[in-house]
Amino acid sequence: MTEKYLHQLWQKKRFTKPELILSDGRSLRILHFGYYNRNNEGPDFSMAVIEIEGQTLYGPVELHVKSSDWYRHGHQNDNKYSQVILHVVYEHDQEVTLSDQKIPVLELRPYIDTFHYAKQLKGMASDQLIPCSGHLLKASSLDAMKEWAIQKRLSELKRETETTCQPLLSLLIARSFGMGENGKEWIGFLDNGTFSGNYIRFGLRPQNRVETRTVQLRVLLSTLKEFRAEESAYKEFNKVIDQVNIELRRSGVAEMGTVLRKNIFTNAILPYLYINQDLNLDQVLETMNKIAPESNYYTRIWKDKGFLVRSLFDSQGLLWLYKWKCSEKKCLTCTVGRETIYNDSKNSLLF
């Protein structure tokens, strides 16, 4: 049993019996389950409303696997927990007191849908790259999760770039040249025009060599200057790349191919337009739906499971969904994962 699973039960109000009894035998009614605290500061749920034997209480609710975890986590020394009105646990193994008064305890063990719990355990124990892949093809929420994954990626890029002194577009383009482990080296190149000597060269294909990429980056940055997408963003960007490739041919340097230009557009141009507020999220997604998908390790994972990857929206959405949810088996925080587990469970929600 995990606290994360208990949080999901409480959020979804998923219990097998509507009548709740506290550990001391008193009856409990949940009038409002409260608001989930996602920043891990203070009690798990705030502003809950409960009724115990006709007395209404307002305040936060804390959840633990065992009630003794209260002391193990040091909550007795933290004023943020001094107003907790209900302690919800899987196993009640120790009384907890606040100001010499016992905190009311609800032990969830008798109210948990064992079939539902077994389903989520099976998913967590699965050695499949995508634990719920057998159910995903019929999941109604997959497109919504792809959109969530893309928006989260854009938001993270925005947050990461807010503290830098580098011009936003130059920074994003340099990062898109990073080729994985060499990402920091390209940022350093922007600062002083050289590399630190830690640039990884072993195993790079000829077109990825630093000598080639350096010239390409310089020519691209000088050609782009201030990128403006007056028409189609991808169409305008490809015009720029065509100009860049003409200059590269004159210099005797390899041109920027289809894979690289798409990588730069996906990881630099679109985020730049979004962060710079030239395009809103709907416009970004619409643009991605008009562009052919990437082909890489992650798209192959999904294709092997029978999924159609028809556009850049699909390939990017599935890539980041896999990285943030599937690879870490965070099924309980994924709409698709929860939908799969809930739809396969025998019992329905009772609240």
User: CB 124: neighbour CB atoms within 10 A?
Assistant: 14
Q: Looking at residue 350, what is its pLDDT? A: 36
Residue 258 has pLDDT above 60, yes or no: yes
Query: Does the pLDDT of residue 204 top 50, yes or no?
Result: yes
DSSP 238-291: HHHHHHHHHHHHHHT-----HHHHHHHIIIIIHHHHHHTTSS-HHHHHHHHHTS
Buried b (16+ CB within 10 A) or exposed e, 202-229: eeeeeeeebebbbbbbebbbeebeebeb
Please state the pTM of the whole predicted model. 0.63
Read off the pLDDT band of 192 (50, 70, 90): low
Q: How do strand 45-52 and strand 27-32 relate by DSSP bridges?
A: antiparallel
Check residue 83 and give left, alpha or beta (phi > 0: left; psi -120 to 50: alpha): alpha
Predicted local distance difference test score (pLDDT) of residue 185: 62
Q: What confidence tens digit (pLDDT) does each residue in 282-335 have? A: 999 999 999 999 988 888 888 887 788 899 999 999 999 888 887 776 766 777
Measured CA angle at 196 (ends 194, 197), to 5 deg: 110
Query: Which among 247, 245, 256, 267 is positioned nearest to 208, based on CA atoms?
Result: 256
